[in-house]
């Protein structure tokens, strides 16, 4: 990755795959996967990949390629756990470059 891109990754966050749900439906996560990232808080309305109009709260630009599911638990540095709305992997001329997570606002 380019040095300039790496310089933007000043924040740490994590995600956890959901391992179970309690009797109230709350998600329980497994082992947290930590990563360096840049978080852009940007409230906007947009359509998800399944066609629903939702309010996005922002985007996490991950330093690298991660296999994050939409059902995973996102742990932001401020202690919140917003719902993951969209996960994308972006490519450059040499292959996979980075992963982004759009989260609910």
HEC string for the chain: CCHHHHHHCCEEEEEECEEEECCCCCEEECCCEEEEEEEEEEEEEEECCCCCEEEEEEEEEECCCCCCCCCCEEECCCCCCCCEEEEEEEEECCEEEEEEEEEEC
> How would you write the pLDDT of the chain (105 residues) with one tens digit per residue?
578 888 889 999 999 998 888 888 788 888 999 999 999 999 999 887 788 898 999 999 999 999 999 889 999 999 999 999 999 999 989 899 999 999 998
Domain ranges of the chain: 11-18+34-104
């Amino acid at each position: 990755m380019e040095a300039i891109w790496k310089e933007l990754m000043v924040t740490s966050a994590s995600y956890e795959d959901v391992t179970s749900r309690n009797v109230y439906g709350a998600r329980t996560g497994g082992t947290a996967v930590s990563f360096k990232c840049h978080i852009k808080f940007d409230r906007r309305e947009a359509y998800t990949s399944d066609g629903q109009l939702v309010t996005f709260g922002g985007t996490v630009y991950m330093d690298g390629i991660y296999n994050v599911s939409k059902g995973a638990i996102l742990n932001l540095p401020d202690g919140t756990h917003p719902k993951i709305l969209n996960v994308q992997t972006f490519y450059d001329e040499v292959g996979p470059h980075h992963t982004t997570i759009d989260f609910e606002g």
